[in-house]
Structure 1
Amino acid sequence: MSSSAKNDQGLVIFSPFKVKKMNKPLISIIVPVYNAEKYLDDCLESLVNQTYDNTEIILVDDGSSDGSGSICERYAKKDKRIVFISKKNGGVGSARNAGLAVAKGEYVFFCDSDDMVKYDLLEKSYETAAKENAEIVIFGVVTVNDSRKHIKEDHYIKKADYSNIKDSRILFAEMKKNDEYSSCVQYMLLKRSVIRRKFIHMIHEDELFTPQVLYEAEKAVFIPDELYIRKIHDNSVTTTRKSAENYTAMVHVIAGLEKIENKDSVLVSHLCDLYRTINVIYSKLEKEEKIKAKDTKAKADKHFIKMMICADPEYRKYYRHAVLSKIYHAGKY
């Protein structure tokens, strides 16, 4: 297998050692693939060279129109651990669901096809899960641009100390308090047993899925090792202009979060934060996009006014603050 210790920026990607043979649980790696031929080889090389070798790598080509499918087929032919699925385009959530439907692993790791991982990501995260008896292990992230230059000032860098936290909801609460919470499901190893729901077939699917698994689990831990290499591109979701689709999807996310049965004040505060966020999104939409989102917005606004009055008493203040914040910033409701 190919190996290299570092790239030009000192990021260890492939293992400089032979893959270790392990009698450990199977880990399913699920990779949604869509028009990623420019980045896919780097991604797959970082996955097939993991020091933890008891894996299955499920590549889901989500209707790519470039050479991504051919690259997936080439890797599947030379590595028996790889399962290749080709389907019509349905979005990231749909592709992840297709992967979950065939996954056999006790643990699951989702990886984006235009990113890479450190050679020991699975080994370190699994060892932590086993040692702490944790259902979720969240790990550090390093962000690079297309030239693989390390971006040091990044929202995904966590500076607080979470080493003594083992409870999943407390970890969520502390990361929220420190403004270091990320919903990105790629940055964690999950025990399959905590995945009880499918991804929604909309953008921003992680915003719903990640709180769902955190509230399904009992134990979650964070390790500061920067094991996931996140690439940013000019056409990434986070850098493109927002649309009515973004607004509508986030309203759907908020509705889903309200349905979590064991929700608490932290989660309610979080979904109210998201309501404030979507109001900012709406304010920045082009006129045509605002018209498309108008009806959805009216329903969301009406719901929050209702919850300000009718929610459980311990939650009403969060809805009230969200509504008042909207009035303060918009000048009207």
Structure 2
Amino acid sequence: MLISVIVPVYNAEKYLRECLDSIVNQTYHNIEIILVDDGSTDASGAICDEYADKDIRIKVIHSANKGVTAARINAFETSSGDYITFVDADDFLDCNMFKKMLDTVMEDNNDIIVCQYINYDSKNKKQEKSMLRPPIGIYYKEGIVRLLKKNFLYNEKTGMAEMPPFLCAKLIKREFVQETLNVEVGLSYNEDQVGIFALLLRINSMSVIQDYFYYYRHHSVQATAVYTDRLWERIADSMQRFRELDRNDYLTIQLPQKCFLMLFECTIKAIKCGIDITIINREIDKYLIRLPYAFNAEFASRKNKIKKLLIKYKFIVILKMIFTTKSFLNRFIV
């Protein structure tokens, strides 16, 4: 059985060799590796070509910069694997990942296999296993629907999505990949979680295993770790896409909680980056106006109702003071 490994690459020269070594050295060898150099301006493209010269399983596509979703679609259209998996160019894998996950495929013949991931602190070289989610086991249609309804997007107890919000660390049957990628088109934030939601709506079975095979690297230049001018708008776009896809109203309660969570995260990022409070207030107002359904009090928990009021009525001034004080004190702490 052939596995297609799709790796979008953009200015990843610092980590790319470690990523590619972890793929080519897998104990399961029947793989094709498709690298999409998405308009990199560093040595990433040359590194891709170097590895392709040494391993006939590697194909390199050089393209103008169009973003991760376009790169994945480009790669998928040239792939031929029975199962597809995605790897980010700054992450890396356990050498037994494909063999063990394919063993699960051969045993259960499920549409998607999900493994666990390890958070890897690039700066301090520390590893921490992620919370085990979703619960281990085999999910058929009824179980998948139950996951979608209950806490796919937001688990009140953990404050997290019950389904890890990225396409990586998953082996997906080919027939379900195209539509998964298509629903991500036009999004530039949280697009993977939208794609996974669309994927779970369509599949009939899923295996979740307890093995930690995927190493998710955390570093300061990640797109999800920084504030950009269009961040609020991009978050709102993804929330709207969830609403469009959720024709069975699985997310009626979860979506408001997710919107509150994203609102807080975005506000904190803006404060950390020194954005003026007036600008933050204006962006919050635009965000709230755009998503009236998501902030309907009927669907909000008491805790999130309070959070909304605190943010809306200048609680960000207090947050600003906290971060400013911490920044000031850190200058004098050795």
TM-score over 0.5 for the alignment? yes
Q: In the alignment, residue 217 of structure 2 is paired with which amino acid?
A: K
Do the aligned partners of residues 290 and 246 (structure 1) sit closer, same or farther apart at CA in structure 2, a change above 3 Å counting?
farther
**1:6-45 residue pairs with structure 2 within 5 A?**
24=1, 26-45=2-21
Q: Percent identity?
A: 27
Q: In the alignment, residue 194 of structure 1 is paired with which amino acid?
A: F
User: 2:216: which partner in 1?
Assistant: 230
Deviations 1:274-299, CA, capped at 9 Å, x for gaps:
2112321453325469749947x555
Structure 2, unpaired ranges of 5+:
315-334
Report deviation, 1:215: 1.7
Do the aligned partners of residues 40 and 327 (structure 1) sit closer, same or farther apart at CA in structure 2, a change above 3 Å counting?
closer
User: 2:132: which partner in 1?
Assistant: 158
Q: In the alignment, residue 189 of structure 1 is paired with which amino acid?
A: L
Tell me the distance in 1 between the aligned counterparts of 2:70 and 2:124: 29
Tell me the distance in 2 between the aligned counterparts of 1:288 and 1:90: 31
Tell me the distance in 2 between the aligned counterparts of 1:140 and 1:236: 21
Do the aligned partners of residues 289 and 237 (structure 1) sit closer, same or farther apart at CA in structure 2, a change above 3 Å counting?
farther
Deviations 1:130-183, CA, capped at 9 Å, x for gaps:
32232111101122233783433x5x3317743254433334545644634321
Tell me the distance in 2 between the aligned counterparts of 1:194 and 1:182: 18
The counterpart of 2:91, out of the listed 115, 130, 136, is 115
User: 1:329: which partner in 2?
Assistant: 310
State whether structure 2 residue 96 is matched by structure 1 residue 100. no
User: 2:204: which partner in 1?
Assistant: 218
Report deviation, 1:51: 2.2
Report deviation, 1:206: 1.3
Moved more, 53-62 or 94-103: 94-103
**Residues 244 and 290 in structure 1, CA contact (< 8 A), matched pair in contact too:** no
Deviations 1:85-114, CA, capped at 9 Å, x for gaps:
011112222221221222222211000111
SS at match of 2:62: strand
**Residues 46 and 116 in structure 1, CA contact (< 8 A), matched pair in contact too:** yes
Report deviation, 1:192: 1.9
The counterpart of 1:133, out of the listed 93, 99, 109, is 109
User: 2:42: which partner in 1?
Assistant: 66
**TM-score, length-scaled by structure 1:** 0.78
SS at match of 2:230: helix
User: 1:255: which partner in 2?
Assistant: 240
Report deviation, 1:332: 4.6
SS at match of 1:77: helix
SS at match of 1:95: helix
Q: In the alignment, residue 157 of structure 1 is paired with which amino acid?
A: M
Structure 1, unpaired ranges of 5+:
1-23, 310-315
For the aligned residues, what is the CA RMSD? 3.0
The counterpart of 1:181, out of the listed 139, 154, 163, is 163
Report deviation, 1:226: 0.6
Report deviation, 1:268: 2.9
Report deviation, 1:115: 1.2
Do the aligned partners of residues 283 and 222 (structure 1) sit closer, same or farther apart at CA in structure 2, a change above 3 Å counting?
same
Tell me the distance in 1 between the aligned counterparts of 2:244 and 2:58: 36
Tell me the distance in 2 between the aligned counterparts of 1:53 and 1:87: 27
Moved more, 212-221 or 157-166: 157-166
User: 1:209: which partner in 2?
Assistant: 195
**Residues 183 and 211 in structure 1, CA contact (< 8 A), matched pair in contact too:** no
Moved more, 167-176 or 41-50: 167-176
Report deviation, 1:244: 3.4
SS at match of 1:268: coil
Tell me the distance in 2 between the aligned counterparts of 1:193 and 1:261: 21
Deviations 1:10-49, CA, capped at 9 Å, x for gaps:
xxxxxxxxxxxxxx2x211100111111211111111112
Q: In the alignment, residue 272 of structure 1 is paired with which amino acid?
A: P
Q: In the alignment, residue 232 of structure 1 is paired with which amino acid?
A: H
**Residues 38 and 71 in structure 2, CA contact (< 8 A), matched pair in contact too:** yes
Tell me the distance in 1 between the aligned counterparts of 2:222 and 2:171: 23
Report deviation, 1:57: 0.5
Tell me the distance in 2 between the aligned counterparts of 1:103 and 1:43: 20
Q: In the alignment, residue 137 of structure 2 is paired with which amino acid?
A: S
Do the aligned partners of residues 62 and 164 (structure 1) sit closer, same or farther apart at CA in structure 2, a change above 3 Å counting?
closer
**Residues 76 and 82 in structure 1, CA contact (< 8 A), matched pair in contact too:** yes
